[in-house]
Amino acid sequence: MSTPETVGCSSRVLQTCLPRHRSITTFSRRNSDARPVVRTCVYTPTRSEEQTALKLEAQVVPPANLLNEILAPVKSDMEQMNQNLKNVVGNRHPMLMAAAEQIFGAGGKKLRPVIVFLVAHSTAQREGLTELTDKHRRLAEITEMIHTASLVHDDVLDECDIRRGKKTINSMYGTRVAVLAGDFLFAQSSWFLANLDNLEVIKLISQVIADFANGEISQAASLFDTDITLEQYLDKSFYKTASLIAASCRSAAVFSDSPVEVKEAMYSYGKHLGLAFQVVDDVLDFTQSTEQLGKPQGQDLASGNLTAPAIFALRKSPELLDIISSEFVEEGSLERALELVRETGGIEEARLLARQQADMALAALECLPEGPSRRSLRLMVDYVLERIY
């Protein structure tokens, strides 16, 4: 897989640094497949772009304010969406009203619809639209509904009582209500999707639901598989995390009547941002405390789910291979495995992988006009990486 030159921008700094020559992704179609084939080429910034980048590089954004900076251009959009989502569930089915408040109420960053709105605003600006369409707004709702439905069902399968510090639906209202709530969200999102009356978007978002299943099956089939490759890991991560972000970003560009190259660039942004997000999450499983994670440290590794840090470490440590192959039967073997991942540089290599994916996401934004939404899309990349530094 081709990756661009890693940009040496500091975390917490606006991610607009442009090297003299920078690799960016370009695209072509493969038959009738809606997904682009990704290639790389060299982009040389103009003098004015370099000067703008140097000015913006100096604008340090404190971590505490980073998310507020990102949300600023779409704050009113998100407020409207949140109320609409609660009404969708509660008004149709009163028995799910309490669950709707728990699912869509206060808490949760809802980053996926934020990204949809930012791409929508930025591509609309590019195409000369003065405001978002109703289809843009419905797309954001669909994206959050699909994501939330997948989380509700995941919590049932994993028997989780807490997610990000909040009680899960199944722990509060039982498995029956949780399954029904998840099923309803999937069904309602499919109905909303059909009513968008756009075949390209219907195909894109429908594929996401199939990708969720592919990701879960791939993960279950590769537990404790020490032969798993980095490419297989990235495929699984795409199915589970990046597919929805990529498809919704491209769909937002579709509803702005963007040309093919812009739609494909937005797909690339979502894909690589999603992959960076997943790699960062997997790094945190090794670096954060149980209190920070809300679950035991190294839980993925303990369950046999081998992620980027472990995959990189396995290349250098026969001892780690033996421990994982034994499925941690000996007392203290998990703790030793976590030590080996750190000692062999697995975490550092995974951080570099996240940085490479982030750089490809940034490169895909070059086609967008300067403005608050494009700035927030850049800052979103910084926000994702911020957690591992």
- At 337, which CATH number? 1.10.600.10
Does residue 233 fall inside a structural domain? yes
Q: Is residue 344 part of a domain?
A: yes
73 domain-assigned: yes
**pLDDT of 5:** 34
For residue 148, name the pLDDT band (cuts at 50, 70, 90). confident
Least confident of 2-11, 185-194, 313-322, 379-388: 2-11
Has residue 41 been placed in a domain? Answer: no
Residue 9: inside a domain, yes or no? no
Would you place residue 24 in the very low, low, confident or very high pLDDT band (cuts 50, 70, 90)?
very low
52 in a domain, yes or no? no
311 phi and psi angles, rounded to 5 deg: -65, -45
State the pLDDT confidence band at 154, using cuts at 50, 70 and 90. Answer: confident
Say if residue 26's pLDDT is above 60.
no
Statement: residue 10 has pLDDT above 60: no
Mean pLDDT score across all residues of the chain: 82
d(CA 276, CA 353): 8
User: Do residues 381 and 276 lie in contact, with contact meaning Cβ atoms separated by under 8 Å?
Assistant: yes
Higher local confidence (pLDDT), 146 or 164: 146
User: Residue 329: which pLDDT band, with cuts at 50, 70 and 90?
Assistant: very high
In this structure, is residue 141 part of a structural domain? yes
Which residue did the predictor score with more confidence, 114 or 173?
114
pTM reported for the whole predicted model: 0.81
- Residue 60 has what pLDDT? 52
User: Which domain, by its residues, includes 307?
Assistant: 64-386
Confidence class for position 61, pLDDT limits 50, 70, 90: low
Rounded Cα gap, residues 261 and 279, in angstroms: 27
Whether 261 maps to a domain, the answer reads yes
DSSP H or E stretch at residue 218: helix 199-221
Kindly give, in sequence order, each residue whose CB lies less than 8 Å from that of residue 382, ignoring residues fewer than 6 positions away: 11, 12, 13, 14, 15, 61, 66
Look at the chain and report how many structural domains it folds into. 1
Cα–Cα distances in angstroms (integers) from residue 172 to residues 71, 89, 256, 299, in the given order: 30, 17, 41, 23
Percent of the chain's residues with pLDDT above 90 = 58
In the predicted structure, residue 4 carries a pLDDT above the cut 70 = no
